[in-house]
Copies of this chain bind each other. A is one copy, B any other.
Amino acid sequence: MTIKLGIIGAGRVGRLHANTLTTRIPGAKTLVVADIFKDAAKSAAEDYGIPDFTTDPSELIGSGDVDAIVICSSTDTHCRFIIEAARAGKQIFCEKPIAFDLAEIDEALAAVDEAGVQLQIGFNRRFDANHARVKQAIERGEIGEAHTMTIISRDPAPPPIDYIKVSGGLMMDMMIHDFDLSRFLLGEVEEIYALGDVKVDPAIGEAGDIDTAKVMLRFESGAFGSIENSRQAVYGYDQRVEVFGSKGAATTGNWHPNAVTISDAMSVRRDLPLHFFVERYFESYVSEMIAFVDAIANGKTVPVVGNDGRVPVVMAMAGMRSLRENRPVRLDEAEV
């Protein structure tokens, strides 16, 4: 059975999914791509051999030919399209974060429930070979009961200030991936304490955001976690996690473009890690979409459900409140 899809949003991530869906997933057929900018929609259609394009997402959602909608438009439009697609009976894949506002999210999730369709959230890192192996180590009991988790997650360079302004801030835009990974690995968090500041670029501060943060998590299981984010690691994308437990530890390293060591009179060195998420997580973007298409085609539950999109937003809100008030904040406080 072939799943027929429409993609909303032909920006960087929309094009990435268009590429993946048209080349790597035999069971998927992308029929149409929508973008409010006609040129973007058209060039995505041409570049990835998608038969049709439109500037009207609603037209795409309304198309009888399409089984599933992949939402990659700007965050402020996510909930609207989710609701529209759910009411049209479409299966839905939506990029993270769902929204910055809990009421809006809850409305969208309710629409999904009512329609009896499925919604998968684009937390692709769960599908990364490293993170999946750590999860497996936990599940297999290789490291016993988990006591602590340490995530280090650094971008190679900050996004443009214009993006920063609409991003929801570092915790909602960047650390949200690490909040998801924390839950994926060790379950629910009950309290967060955050340190954050502007260390990379004052313009980020002027835009009301931070670029460096270190956050402490208290899990419901009793485990402790920490997450560190920086918008700029000059050596490239730094994506590591360690889970330590009663029987051992699982520790990930970065991926490099090659496994070559050069020894010369100065040092013993490797080339820099894979530069950014497109390189580092390409295969996990493929895998999440394979999983989505497979779930839709075979009537399985999608692997990252609506609530998995909601909770990290609550965590980001708790983190931001902790920053403002310089105290640990419980997730139930952030819910209010």
Contacts and interface: CB of A to CB of B under 8 A. Distances in A.
Interface string A220-238: 0010111010101111001
A251 interface: yes
A87 interface: no
Q: Which among A143, A262, A267, A270 has the highest number of chain B CB atoms within 10 Å?
A: A262
Contact of A214 (B226, B251, B271, B327): B226
A259 B253 contact: yes
A267 B271 contact: yes
Interface in A13-41: 23-24, 26
A197 interface: yes
Interface residues of A, number: 73
A227 to B, nearest CB: 10
A303 B170 CA distance: 41
A200 interface: yes
A250 B257 contact: no
Contact of A260 (B133, B193, B263): B133
A331 to B, nearest CB: 15
A260 B254 CA distance: 9
Interface of A: 23-24, 26, 49, 129-130, 132-134, 137, 142-145, 147-148, 150, 152, 154, 193, 195, 197, 199-200, 212-214, 216, 218, 222, 224-226, 228, 230, 232-235, 238, 242, 244, 246-273, 326-328
